Structure 1
Amino acid sequence: MIDWSRVDELVDEIGPEDFGEVAELFLVEVESAVCLLESSEGNPIVTEEQMHFLKGASLNLGFALLAQICLKGEKAAAEGNPEAVSAAQVRTIFEESRDQFQKGLPERLAA
């Protein structure tokens, strides 16, 4: 669900003291994108755009499973099938990933 090697790489790059801010901003931006996805469900243009954003943001911070489902949703929306991956699926995976991330992050920052 979480690519911890990517998280560790980012912590090394930006430092543990600044990583918390980056992670918090990521979570806020992803929450906003998921809300937009939910409010415009069925709109192929918005779905494709938000899935694309979520995929990239998720890959950047190591949310591997979320990135995979968003890639699938992005492709499906581009092909005219925005319902292939529901906003509810994205929300569930995001929340599960976020919880796992927040649980495992303290030990990453302490190392």
Structure 2
Amino acid sequence: MIDWARVGELVDEIGAEDFEEVVELFLLEVDGAISALEAAAGNAVIVEEQMHFLKGAALNLGFEALAQLCLKGEKAAASGRADVVGLDEVRQIYRSSRLQFERDLPDRLAA
């Protein structure tokens, strides 16, 4: 669910202090993108844009399962099928990924 190698690379690239800020920003932006998906009400253009954004943000922070789901949703929306990946599924994968990330991050950073 989490690409811990990517997380480690990011911490190495930007440092532990800046990493905390990146995580906070990521969480805020993902919440905003999910809200935008809620408001999109099946609008394929907006769904594609938000799925693309979420995919990139998720890949940056190692949320691999979320990124893969968003890739599927982005491709589907690009072909006019904004309903292929449901918002509930996005929320569920994000929540479970976030829980794993927050639970395991301290141990990963300490290693």
Smaller-chain TM-score range?
over 0.9
Q: Distance in 2 between matches of 1:62 and 1:89?
A: 18
Structure 2 unmatched ranges of 5 or more: none
> Partners of 1:68 and 1:62 in 2: how far apart?
11
CA drift at 1:87: 1.0
- Range that drifts further, 34-43 or 72-81: 34-43
Distance 1:105 1:13 in 2: 17
Aligned to 1:106: 106
Cα distance in structure 1, aligned partners of 2:108 and 2:11: 8
Partner of 1:57: 57
How many residues are aligned here? 111
Q: In structure 1, what residue type is equivalent to 2:4?
A: W
Partner of 2:83: 83
Give CA deviations for 1:39-82 in whole Å, capped at 9, x if unaligned. Answer: 21311011000000000110111000000000000000010100
RMSD between superposed Cα atoms in Å: 0.9
Shift of residue 15, structure 1, vs aligned partner = 1.1
Q: Which residue pairs with 1:96 in the alignment?
A: 96
The whole-number CA distance in structure 1 between the counterparts of 2:17 and 2:67 is 26
**Counterparts of 1:26 and 1:72 in 2: how far apart (Å)?**
20
Partner SS for 2:80: coil
Which consecutive segments of 4 or more residues in structure 1 shift more than 3 A?
Answer: none
| Contact 1:76–1:82 (CA under 8 A) maintained in structure 2 | yes
The equivalences for 1:1-111 within 5 A come to 1-111=1-111
How far did 1:37 drift?
0.5
Distance 1:84 1:41 in 2: 13
TM-score w.r.t. structure 2 length?
Answer: 0.96
